[in-house]
Structure 1
């Protein structure tokens, strides 16, 4: 059986600082590189040419899905892998990747994306969120990207039961949320403008309010973020859809960050009832109890976190909530309880 071919599809503009690192990471994994360039004026194009990329100029229309779909139309591989320039595919998994892609019963694979945060480079490997995203899918299956920003590939509406998804442990490392980089690129401002444009559409998805909340959270405008989050939750419920777990992760994260512990405790049990195996919610509950000096209750939460671990591919998970962070807080709780008992 011949090996399946992979086309890497990317949208770029002035990415000379990162693009080589990205392309180098995939050079032994992909057979074709499709670059949609929206107007680079630096060395981006020259760097892409070094990796035999096919480069297609594209007039930017402030719509990421449109640009992604233009790239798809140029790809000839059996599979599509999509990345951004500030990402890299973890190397050493090439054989494993090819073996899995021979299985044509799977249409789309979710890959673990490790999103680093912090002020500057080099990154701290302990400061990261893990989230699985649909990054690899079969070409020529009618799959298209949707959304002006935070675009995502979606199966065609007229699909049959043969369209399936699975998870593949081939990590992607994402550096785009490091503050040094976001300030340099003005990414936050651009994102906010595009999301606000989408928000004007009366038929927009409730995800748009979540993305607005996220942008305002990153700016430290917690009240505005909280208001948009509640609007998003309400609109999901209005549509008869259980609000996604990530909304509750951000909501109770904001309440903890702003020391609104009483308000947080009132609602977090309801969120946990919806997502009982979500380690981050138990961790946040533990923080609430810890900060209000209810150390026995906090201890139980952190022990639950260690029991759950942090390998659940359904959720956005802060690294350490099911391991070292929970362990540290557990030790602190035991110490506090020991001190209390000797008084």
Structure 2
């Protein structure tokens, strides 16, 4: 009988005393070893990690996240690697037999359901959701590349295989707090990230990495410098195409989010249809189209689009999806459309459905109360 697969947790940290205990507690009971690479903490991060049973390794920070992560990998002895950051927390295993799943899978890389919180407090309804690779087999050559927004070298290890052939998924959620407003402000992530991205853009490897421009665009977007964000996301799209690759769906999501935030509805139309043609299953792009139709006063068309959003729903996969685009946000906009066309009862029903699906969705609650008062 094959032995139970073992798992090493590998992390890199610096000054994470407020978060690291929660992260380690979320895996401590079933992990085989915890390897924490510290890049220069001056707070109690190291002491807390050691008190939790982690092996702490020191690594002199060289402005290269992949180097730090790979240093931890060289010390991992287990069959599988799980990599996390201190601002993340894994959901409880519950009845899920993780070790059985690892034993039986044919995949070399396994994704988790990543929940990226974006509000002021943790709320899954105020979050972006995506499947993200976090477990991978040890000792087969997989490691990280790129100085920032490091990623696994899948193409180097499996040059002749499609990613779908070597990847699988397991039904666990990973909650990420790193881009909530209080944390990004405290850690000044914009300055750190932009410095490293600009450094990476000047490196020899940048010519083969069109993700750099995307990540620069994302940083500009977060600080609301939309003109620069738009310039860089378009550069990223062009570089993917020039490299013979279809631009990933999240580039189009960012592009149209920028246009929406600048009020450039005419700039988003009719180009959104071309993006949808590339990714017809991406509910967020359909939702953007629905909003365009609504703003232009094409209410019947908007209703059709938002109904289609509800049909698509929100399955967590390769697309970065804002919670609600296939549920409560779509119902809310259906309510707005029906209200505009004079069907108040249908609008009330839609607002009720949106509020039922997301009890923290205050604008649906306010719209519902407003219409109910009118209809009294």
Shorter chain as denominator, the TM-score bin is: over 0.9
Which whole-Å CA distance do the structure 1 matches of 2:328 and 2:55 have between them? 44
> Could you report, residue by residue, the CA deviation over 1:49-104 in whole angstroms, capped at 9, with x for unpaired residues?
12110110000000000111000001111100000000000113474322210125
Q: Find the counterpart in structure 2 of residue 199 from structure 1.
A: 201
Is structure 2 residue 312 aligned with structure 1 residue 337? no
Q: Find the counterpart in structure 2 of residue 115 from structure 1.
A: 116
SS in 1 for 2:203: coil
Q: Find the counterpart in structure 1 of residue 146 from structure 2.
A: 147
Q: Please state how far the C-alpha of 1:338 moved relative to its aligned partner.
A: 2.3
Is structure 2 residue 180 aligned with structure 1 residue 178? yes
Q: Find the counterpart in structure 2 of residue 100 from structure 1.
A: 101
TM-score between both structures, scaled by the size of structure 2: 0.87
Q: Find the counterpart in structure 1 of residue 363 from structure 2.
A: none
Q: Structure 2 matches for 1:161-310, cutoff 5 A?
A: 164-201=166-203, 203-204=205-206, 205-310=209-314
CA contact (8 A) 1:144 1:156 kept: no
CA contact (8 A) 1:143 1:156 kept: no
Q: Please state how far the C-alpha of 1:143 moved relative to its aligned partner.
A: 0.3
Structure 2's unaligned 5+ residue stretches are: 345-376
Q: Find the counterpart in structure 1 of residue 17 from structure 2.
A: 16
Higher normalized contact order (CA 8 Å, seq sep 6+, divided by chain length)? 1
Q: Find the counterpart in structure 1 of residue 356 from structure 2.
A: none
SS in 1 for 2:304: helix
CA contact (8 A) 1:256 1:287 kept: no
Q: Please state how far the C-alpha of 1:325 moved relative to its aligned partner.
A: 0.9
Q: Closer, same or farther in 2 for the Cα pair 1:194/1:158, shift >3 Å? A: closer
SS in 2 for 1:36: strand
Which whole-Å CA distance do the structure 2 matches of 1:103 and 1:147 have between them? 31
Q: Find the counterpart in structure 1 of residue 68 from structure 2.
A: 67
Is structure 2 residue 124 aligned with structure 1 residue 125? yes
Q: Please state how far the C-alpha of 1:330 moved relative to its aligned partner.
A: 1.3
TM-score between both structures, scaled by the size of structure 1: 0.95
Q: Please state how far the C-alpha of 1:156 moved relative to its aligned partner.
A: 6.3
CA contact (8 A) 1:93 1:170 kept: no
SS in 1 for 2:171: coil
Which whole-Å CA distance do the structure 2 matches of 1:194 and 1:225 have between them? 17
Counterpart of 1:315 (choices 315, 319, 326) is: 319
